[in-house]
Amino acid sequence: MIPETAEPRPAADKFDDDHYPAYTMGGAAEMLGTTPGFLRSLDEAKLIQPRRSPGGHRRYSRHQLRIAARVRELVDQGTGLDAACRIVTLEDQLREARELNDKLSSPPGQDYPPLRGV
């Protein structure tokens, strides 16, 4: 997925930052209703790559927790972990492609897409 950046920012900016690694592994697991092992498996699958504290502990962002929650939802529905990770990756790629398509197909100030083939 998208790697997290490690740029220092003022404290007030971090409150609304979806990518700020504010959650410990235990806190993240508790919020998701899962185990730390589940979160480690997502790291091993390279779906989410949490930042590390100076002591080496994993720290998760809200963005990463949303991804983990989606995987957990799929796993709870009977999807295997590898397949769930692939589905979430493809959903993310589709969302990005749609955003890019929307951006490229509508000129600024135009509320409707341009006619094609006319």
54/107 Cα distance (integer angstroms):
46
Instruction: Please report, for the chain, the start and end positions of each structural domain, with discontinuous segments joined by +.
Output: 18-105
What is the pLDDT, as a whole number, of residue 16?
Answer: 79
What is the pLDDT, as a whole number, of residue 64?
Answer: 95
Model pTM? 0.74
Digit-coded pLDDT (tens) for 4-51: 555 666 666 677 788 899 999 999 999 999 999 999 999 999 999 999
85/67 Cα distance (integer angstroms):
9
Taking residue 85's Cβ as centre, other Cβ atoms within 10 Å add up to: 23
Q: Residue range 62-91: average pLDDT?
A: 96
Fold entry, domain 18-105? Multidrug-efflux Transporter Regulator; Chain: A; Domain 2 (1.10.1660)
Average pLDDT of the residues of the chain = 87
